[in-house]
A and B are shown apart, each in its own frame.
Chain A
Amino acid sequence: MKDSSVKKVLHQLRPYRLLLIAAVLCALVSVSLTLLVPVLVGRAIDHIIGKGEVGFGDVARILGYIGAAVAGVTICQWLMTYLVNSISCKTVRDLRRQVFRKLNTVPLSTIDTHGHGDLISRVINDVDAVGDGLTQFFLQLLSGVITIIGTLVFMLLTDWRIALAVFFLTPLSLFVAGFIGKLSARRFREQQILQGEISSFVEEYVGNQRLVKAFAYEQRSYEAFDRFNTTLLDVGFKAQYAGALANPTTRLVNAIVYAAVGIIGALTVLSGSLTVGGLSCFLTYANQYTKPFNEVTGVLTQLQTGIAAASRVFEVLELEDETPDRADAPSPARRGEVSIRDVSFSYTPDKPLIRHFSLEVPAGTRVAIVGPTGCGKTTLINLLMRFYDVDSGAVLVDGTDIRLMKRDDLRSRCGMVLQDSWLFCGTIMENLRYGNENATDEQVIAAAKAAYAHSFIRRMPKGYDSPVSEGGGNLSQGQKQLLCIARAMLTDPEIMILDEATSSIDTLTEIRVQKAFARMMKGRTGFVVAHRLSTIRESDVILVMRDGNIVEQGSHRELLRKKGFYEELYRSQFATQETARA
């Protein structure tokens, strides 16, 4: 699993392999030059022996070398950082684009069943974590490892005895860091879980302060919060302290290595096989050599996060796509006929929903779908628009099985206005043009007028150029629906699908919406998920649904005569009016 994620990330890097090679070369050059500098400084110091014993010529020459090396390091290091950053941010961009493309090609059932918050967090946080992991990998881990190997080589070349001492002492640092890491990792996990709990508690109780106030629940909510908070203090302290042990302890190990190098080095100098300059160089190395180890251990956790994030991103990228459209898809003449033939469907295999349902809807017919809350009225819309495929049987539009048609072709025949009116952040004009980009301003305004939206749009501060905030927050429910009607009208479909709002629209707008609905339906085949008696009565066919099944179908009058569930529903409306009078 982990390895395959790594492989997939590497695959993503392929377009940038030249940049990558360049970055690695820069890393090699910059690290080796960095390692060379202390050697050169040591050599220079060897030419400074004491009063009157300074070889200025040699010192100058060596310092010149150092200067050149520094210049090289500076350029290569900058280039390496820049290259790595650009590779990772381009990879991040590519990944995001792929995820978004995926979201538009997976079946709707996938989107319906995945938590949106989770998917968004994969697009934003996880992709970022992959990018960070990549940057860290190349900047820290790669140069860290090169530094460690390079230092070892340099040290071995200078004096193998001290090199060995360093070599055997440093794993100690790694070991200690690893031990503390394990110790604190568990506590950090605990802390994270608790922080997550606190966050959702706060979200719930601060987010719903009004309820807390209404029920005078303040004291009890505070007590619950304080329990969390006190536990967090304990867990948080332990986590922080355990985590904070790592830094001083690794520094202790480093300091001991440094001291050891000092002692062994000085003794070696005494024995005559090492110069003072060589010792100075070793001391610098002792500092440098241990540092990457600390960094590497730090980076490893980040890398693990990156890999975990990558596997979450690839999970999305590997979601199954919708079955592709057929290349030879037929496109029958547009008439607006719908026929549903022996259709069975369910969202989950163990809960059958629609069973052997058939219905012929000639062009121009209006079908109302009624039933109590949550009886699956929207399922029919899902099937008709081919958001979901039927399990058996077939839905035919204009005489052709919709599974044979191109999706775009099918959907261009259908206009849709849903109850939760979806608008995107943009101007009113952009939103209205959503279904038909080529509509002229005049056409848009005409549609808005037809949908009774023109007058309120005109009254907005910037008219048609007024911005719509996220989710249409600056518009009322009814206004949003009017906009959606206008938007659907602009595409001029043969079939209209409407999901009436249950309530919460003010009266004036309500009347407008009704009128706009009526105007839009004229001459079109219509499917309405209906909540209003007037809409229902004016329909040609009424489908009565209950618990996901179509229990009755017929005209208003036929159904009343049947004295079945519809009659019961209908009576309950009158019953309410009668008890209301009592």
Chain B
Amino acid sequence: MPSSTQISYRKSSWWKLNQQRLTPWIFLFPGLVLFLVYVIWPIFNSLYISLLQWDGLSPAIYVGFSNYIELLDDEYFYISLINNIKWLIFFMLAVPIGLGLAIFLNQTIFGIRLIKSLFFFPFVISQVVIGIIFAWFYNPRGVIGPFLETIGLGNYAILADEDFATYGIIFAGIYPQIAYCMILYLTGLNNLNTDQIEAGRMDGAKGFSLFKNIILPQLRPATFLAIVVTVIGSLRSFDMVAIMTQGGPWGSTNVLAYYMFETALSEYGYRMGYGSAIAAVLFTIMMFYILFFIYRMYQSEKKGL
């Protein structure tokens, strides 16, 4: 009967008409829900908590922006901020060092695979293990101190020196990061376009100019990725600090992430509001970086790179 066909067609028509537009949203739905619950909602909740004075147990008191005003007058906050910048700058060394190692290891000789995997090894071990091992190296009764003592320079414990302790931790943190950058560049080097190199050679490019004008531009995707993971790594410096010094001596190696943890969640902390205010500052800094990153990605996708 034609009329019934008519009705069933009408029933499904809305779905049929919108199927194309709706399907991606249906697939995105579970992910979006999780993203909202575990990322977006906590961000706004933390921003809200940063306006409170709250120890996690007693009723919270609304204090407006006083946590932020206190931050402005907190010398540990500035120490942490400056240390974060030191981390950002010196962690970047992992990129050129990784590139150098990659070029050095990009040869075809016997056993190179084994050597490559040995160089990659630091990235495979857990950060915690690296932190513990380096803390032991630096310990005045560990390796470096006694060695300096035997050659007559006197015992030295870098982690007890407020001026240099941060560099000691960065050095430990950079060790696995170099391996990571190296592996990114090694894969990049494998995919080099040999025609371009040939052409460059014919045009008389060699040595550094060949490297700078032909090879480095081809490694741009690898460089971009290496910089991105290194910046993220430097902002994630929390674990190294927590393992090696716990922010000490007297707060001089604190970074924002660890200081936030210390004020909000450590044994002597439980100032949820103040910790959240630090988190908000860290979030703002990261946001600038993330926006830049998204902008770059958007631009390169538009160009079809």
Q: Do A and B bind each other?
A: no
Question: A-contacting residues of B (Cβ < 8 Å)?
Answer: none
Question: B-contacting residues of A (Cβ < 8 Å)?
Answer: none
